[in-house]
Amino acid sequence: MDSGQHADRQSPGALRTFLGLLVMVAFVLGLSWFLRTFLLQAYEIPSGSMEETIMTGDMVFAEKVSYRFRDPEPGDIVTFQDPEIPGRILIKRCIAVGGQTVDINDEDGLVYVDGEPLAEPYTDGKPSYRLASDVTYPYTVPEGHVWVMGDNRTNSQDSRFFGSIPISSVTGRGALVYWPLNDFKLLD
């Protein structure tokens, strides 16, 4: 047997190995795309607008399943398309939904929904103030929209700045801080 015949017998094995590797890479990429599109998305928090709940630099998973079956509810932490900068995702807390009326009292620093002051332990006692914008109060959230605010009310551009956001721009529900490990926790 000459060496040419020996090489011909080995090349189908090498080709099979290469094709197997190619299929495995395609499967992993497809699975990753499926998970990011339909189940989970990872985000790094770029600002302090949600402190002390979520810290600058924390890595967060947002799950995408809940809002296929229900709309965001007050208290949910939501990720959504920035209404000001296309392609950028923000994370804030849903404060009110369509049909509810939001008011902010600059004297006592409280947020009122439908005339009732909200109990907001997640703000860590920071007062809420109106921001200089085109939003007028009291503000009735249109149907199909939500009013969102950062937990760090003194350092958050949110619905006080850009108004309510359409539910269609919500991309997920903040579910878990996974990094750094000392900040690991479920979000509520």
Q: Mean pLDDT over residues 156-175, rounded?
A: 95
Asked if 49 is an active-site residue, the reply is yes
Question: Measuring CA to CA, how many Å separate 90 from each of 77, 84, 130, 148?
Answer: 10, 10, 20, 10
User: Can you give the residue ranges of every domain in the chain?
Assistant: 1-40, 45-186
Among the listed ranges 39-43, 110-114, 133-137, 157-161, which one has the minimum average pLDDT value?
Answer: 39-43
pLDDT, position 138 = 96
pLDDT, position 50 = 94
Which contacts qualify for 35-44: CB closer than 8 Å, 24 or more apart?
37/64, 38/64, 38/65, 39/63, 39/64, 39/65, 40/64, 40/172, 40/175, 41/79, 41/171, 41/172, 42/178, 43/79, 43/89, 43/91
pLDDT tier, 124 (very low <50, low <70, confident <90, very high otherwise): confident
Of 64, 92, 126, 159, the active-site residue reads 92
CATH H superfamily, domain 45-186? Umud Fragment, subunit A (2.10.109.10)
Asked if 169 is an active-site residue, the reply is no
> Is the pLDDT at 30 greater than 70, yes or no?
no
pTM above the 0.85 mark? no
Q: Mean pLDDT over residues 146-166, rounded?
A: 95
Give the chain's mean pLDDT: 88
Of 11, 32, 47, 49, the active-site residue reads 49
